[in-house]
Every structure is written in structure tokens, then in C-alpha cells.
């Protein structure tokens, strides 16, 4: 919560023509998930895991020494920018290590059978971070580093990452683009952020061809388009790939209330997607499912989406209701539309061609 993204006008650096305002990637959305989990009583049913920092060697699996040193140096001074739109303050280096390490802690707890599944509520987010630069509020590639941890430190043969953050998981895609042992699936708003990234034709390279699936849904997609994507693309791809662990890059910015995208998901929509993920995980990998928090910029609504996901993962209904669900669920276009259907159809073909690597 102490990661300081400083002053800007949401995402635009403040200046003589831009009046300062808080940065949009703030602690508030995450803190309010935590608070709602407490107020609802769900927390009494959860096991709380104490995160550790990722080690330098662990981070160097996906980032360069030069990049790490640059972040550390700036963080020891007054902060800086990790690259493109990734401002940070004094001490953010250690907090970013804690975010990456927290995702590894969650993976270990699930693999060791301490918990059935886990949600790592961390920030800064990670799925835009590249080998040599931060992007889109991200510093280190948390979810991707957790996947490498599962592969290299825990010896798993196959790991899948399902990224339902509304923006393209470019960093995750790049980390495993030629790697057939980590299946990466990103469901995102077509060409939102990063620009010109996440096309449906980007399926991997070399031995990794076929093991990267992008589903660039049109703006305006609602629960119907997301549910169809999970039923017809994500679930079949996971069944074919047979991962030993499934990670979710869990951005909650596809909600109808989010200011950084134009989708129409609801808390109940996230509940449905979580149900699908739990069912597939039970089928293919003994229920081993770890969600790593990514984006989500409506502090008012993100908590209800987070609570729905956590309730589903814990198998408990607290009875605390989402006060906006009825309104958002009746928005026009919540059911799948023909132009959305066309994208899901195309992506389903990619999923049906998938096989587990030899």
C-alpha cells in the first residue's frame, strides 16, 4: 500500500497545462478490496499468507541486471519512472520485490498444499513490465516471475497464465513467446494498451508457436462476450494443454465502472469466470489456482469484483451484496454481440489446435 505513484493527472504527468491530481494507480482500490473482505466477514474463512521479497536472482530470470540496478538506484534516492508510465517513489524497489515475491509465496502455498488456492493482492502490478523496462504502472513481471518460479524452482513441467486484465499482457507474452511450457492467454480490449499490442495473429514463435493466445475483444464487450471466451477459448485451451498450475493475471479493469477501458463486466461476471477457472483447474491440475492482482481503477467498484472472486475461490457466500450489480447487469449489450462473437470464434480455432507440448 505504500508504493507511491506520486502526482499526475491520473496518467498524464502534471505540468503547467495539466493540473496535478492523484495518480490513477493508487493503493485505494486494493485497500478497499481488503476492507470489503473484512467487513463481509470473508476474511474469517481465509488463510492469510505472509509474503516474502523476491530475491535478485529470481527477478534476474526475466529482467536485466542493468534494469534492476536502475530501479534500485532511483528508489534509494527520490524515485523515478521505470520506463513508460511507471512512476514510483522512494522505497518502491523493495515493495516491487515484495509484490513479485508475494506471488511466489502464493504459488508455494498452493503447491505445498497449505491452501486450496490463493489470491495475491499485490501492487505495483506486473503484466506490462518487459525485460529492460517498466510499462503501464508495472515494475517487475510478478505473474510471469511466479510462473518461472513454478517451473524452475518447483520443477513443474507446464504452467498456464490466463490474463483477464482488460489491457494486453504484453510483458507476460514476451517472457514466454518462444516457450511451449508456459501457455499464455490474454483476454483484453482490442488495441487499448499498449498500443498495437495483443493481436490475435500473435501466437508465439519457434517452439512456442501456438502457446500464446490473444483474444482482443471489441470495446463494449460485456459479461456475455467474456463468458463465451472462457467457455469456448480458455477452458478448451487449458484442457488441451494440461497445465500443472494455473495462474490468473487478475486485473479488474474490465468492469463497467473502469475509467481506463471500455468494457462492461460486473462482479457477477467475474464470479462466473472464476467458477470456470476453478472447474477447469479441478479437472486438469488438482485445483491448483493462483490469482495475482494486476490492474483495476474504479476504487468504488473493484472491491465488489474482488469479493466475488474471493468468495468463489473460498467456496463461501457472505451475503454482502454488490449495490451496483442490478444496474450494470441490465446495461444494453451485456449479451454477446455479432462482432464480439466473430473474435471469440477466431480465438476458439486457436484453442482447438492446441496440444500439450511433447
Contact set with Zn ion (CB under 5 A): 165, 167, 251, 253, 295
Question: Are 320 and 39 in contact, with CB atoms under 8 Å apart?
Answer: yes
Residue number, 40 or 229, with CB nearest to Zn ion? 229
Residue number, 165 or 311, with CB nearest to Zn ion? 165
149 catalytic? Reply is no
- What DSSP element (H or E) covers 87? strand 87-88
The phi, psi pair for 231, rounded to 5°, reads -70, -40
- What DSSP element (H or E) covers 182? strand 182-189
* The one catalytic residue among 63, 128, 168, 188: 128
Q: How far is the CB of 178 from Zn ion (least distance, A)?
A: 25
Q: How far is the CB of 2 from Zn ion (least distance, A)?
A: 21
326 grid coordinates: 442490478
Q: CA torsion 264→267→271→272, rounded to 10°? A: -30
354 grid coordinates: 492446441
Q: How far is the CB of 24 from Zn ion (least distance, A)?
A: 11
Report which residue's Cβ sits closest to Zn ion: 295
How many residues comprise the chain? 358
Provide DSSP, 115-171.
SSEEEE--SS--TT--SS-EETTBSS-HHHHHHHIIIIIT--S-EEEEE-SSS--HH
Report the candidate in 164, 145, 163 with the shortest Cα–Cα distance to residue 100: 145
Residue 179: left if φ>0, alpha if ψ -120 to 50, beta else—which one?
beta
Q: How far is the CB of 143 from Zn ion (least distance, A)?
A: 12
Residue number, 25 or 311, with CB nearest to Zn ion? 25
Residue number, 29 or 102, with CB nearest to Zn ion? 29
Q: How far is the CB of 275 from Zn ion (least distance, A)?
A: 22
Residue number, 134 or 251, with CB nearest to Zn ion? 251
Question: Are 187 and 234 in contact, with CB atoms under 8 Å apart?
Answer: yes
Residue number, 158 or 188, with CB nearest to Zn ion? 188
344 grid coordinates: 471469440
**Chain-centre distance for alpha carbon 52:** 20
Helices 65-76 and 92-111 cross at an angle (nearest 10°) of: 120
Q: How far is the CB of 263 from Zn ion (least distance, A)?
A: 11
Q: Give the active site residues.
A: 128
Amino acid at each position: 500500500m505504500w508504493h507511491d505513484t506520486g502526482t499526475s493527472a491520473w496518467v498524464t504527468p502534471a505540468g503547467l497545462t495539466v493540473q496535478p491530481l492523484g495518480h490513477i494507480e493508487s493503493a485505494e482500490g486494493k485497500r478497499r478490496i481488503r476492507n470489503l473482505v473484512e467487513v463481509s466477514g470473508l476474511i474469517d474463512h481465509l488463510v492469510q499468507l505472509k509474503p516474502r521479497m523476491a530475491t535478485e536472482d529470481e527477478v534476474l530470470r526475466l529482467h536485466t541486471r542493468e534494469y534492476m540496478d536502475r530501479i534500485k538506484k532511483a528508489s534509494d534516492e527520490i524515485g523515478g519512472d521505470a520506463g513508460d508510465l511507471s512512476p514510483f517513489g522512494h522505497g518502491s524497489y523493495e515493495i516491487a520485490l515484495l509484490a513479485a515475491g508475494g506471488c511466489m509465496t502464493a504459488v508455494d502455498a498452493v503447491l505445498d498444499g497449505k491452501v486450496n488456492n490463493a489470491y495475491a493482492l499485490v501492487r505495483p502490478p506486473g503484466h506490462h513490465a518487459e525485460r529492460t523496462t517498466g510499462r503501464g504502472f508495472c515494475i517487475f513481471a510478478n505473474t510471469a516471475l511466479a510462473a518461472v518460479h513454478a517451473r524452475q524452482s518447483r520443477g513443474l513441467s507446464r504452467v498456464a497464465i490466463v490474463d483477464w486484465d482488460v489491457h494486453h499482457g504484453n510483458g507476460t507474452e514476451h517472457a514466454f513467446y518462444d516457450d511451449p511450457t508456459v501457455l499464455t492467454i490474454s483476454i483484453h480490449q482490442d488495441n487499448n494498451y499498449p498500443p498495437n499490442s495483443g493481436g490475435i495473429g500473435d501466437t508465439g514463435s519457434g517452439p512456442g508457436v501456438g502457446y500464446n493466445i490473444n483474444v482482443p475483444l471489441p470495446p463494449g464487450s460485456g459479461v456475455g462476450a467474456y463468458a463465451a471466451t472462457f467457455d469456448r477459448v480458455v477452458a478448451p485451451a487449458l484442457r488441451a494443454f494440461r497445465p500443472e498450475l494455473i495462474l490468473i493475471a487478475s486485473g479488474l479493469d474490465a468492469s463497467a465502472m473502469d475509467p481506463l477501458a471500455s468494457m462492461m463486466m460486473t462482479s457477477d461476471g467475474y464470479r462466473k469466470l472464476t467458477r470456470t477457472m476453478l472447474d477447469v483447474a479441478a479437472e486438469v491440475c488438482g485445483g491448483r489456482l493462483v490469482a495475482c492482482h494486476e490492474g483495476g481503477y474504479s476504487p468504488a467498484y473493484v472491491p465488489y469484483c474482488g469479493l466475488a472472486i474471493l468468495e468463489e475461490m473460498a467456496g463461501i457466500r457472505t451475503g454482502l451484496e454488490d449495490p451496483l450489480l442490478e444496474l450494470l447487469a441490465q446495461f444494453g449489450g451485456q449479451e454477446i454481440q455479432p462482432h464480439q462473437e466473430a473474435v471469440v470464434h477466431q480465438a476458439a480455432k486457436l484453442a482447438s489446435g492446441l496440444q500439450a507440448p511433447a
